[in-house]
Structure 1
């Protein structure tokens, strides 16, 4: 590919990521207080774990041929809506964005890749906003970031393996078990 073609591809890729990031940014800013209140509701989070499990079970049966650059703006936006929904406790951001990507026909490997890249701006932005509210020694913050990054890489590696082998249902069973435990804890079951 020539340099102009590479630039055009890079630009399109960045536009798709930006478009897909917009819903989560809007929901995060506009509904911040409402979302925070949900994090103290164990029953709500437990029920949302069942929704995550359903998405993961369905994901194992989906397949597609679309590559990331085949995405339309509407397709990127729809994946972004799944990411925005996952701001609620109990909904897996990566699980829902992969599910959304698979629903619109992306390949399994590109669904994982897009989900990961889509997480970067939102996670980084939320981290910066929350970091401004924390008063911890810089060494503690850096160690925490390193630990989170390391465990995140291992988690992504495992997630990619499970997605490619159509084994997301294992995370689905985990979500169901934790959801049941949460409902028992709250006295709902």
Structure 2
């Protein structure tokens, strides 16, 4: 972002700690003066069959993915409501819409993000604040590159477009949702035909 002339702030912390959200907002406001756009993109996985999943495995993924989205959104949302403008984009997942074997915790957290998105959109609409979600499918990242070739082939067989998405395609979706002032409370699936 800095290479394109945009300011960047860094806050060390864990998004599942409410203090991190507060610190992030304070730091950003000190540097930029306002909060116009928030993209919640933090997330983790800990995949295993539900019958083998320990409570702490379930709780940790939900805590980072869902609670973290709320803890970062809430202080920004308050500032946006007061300013009567702003856009929040939450990263959900196609798995939050469809479920997936071995991802009970991840699916629950991402489905929760979709519900949170719809609720914040309704609460924010009357004050000019829009909130939407993006539900990516399999995107070519370091995480997917670590999958075995057999796993990648199995996943590709299920994707109608027969390829993984690129990070830039998610960025384009986010830009579309930020720029279109008549969209709120929606989940845009960017998954090559899945979902």
* Higher relative contact order, chain-length normalized (CA < 8 Å, sep 6+): 1
State the TM bucket, normalised to the shorter chain. Answer: 0.3 to 0.5
State the TM-score, normalizing by the size of structure 1.
0.33
State the TM-score, normalizing by the size of structure 2.
0.33
In proportion to residue count, which structure has more helix?
A: 1
In proportion to residue count, which structure has more strand?
A: 2
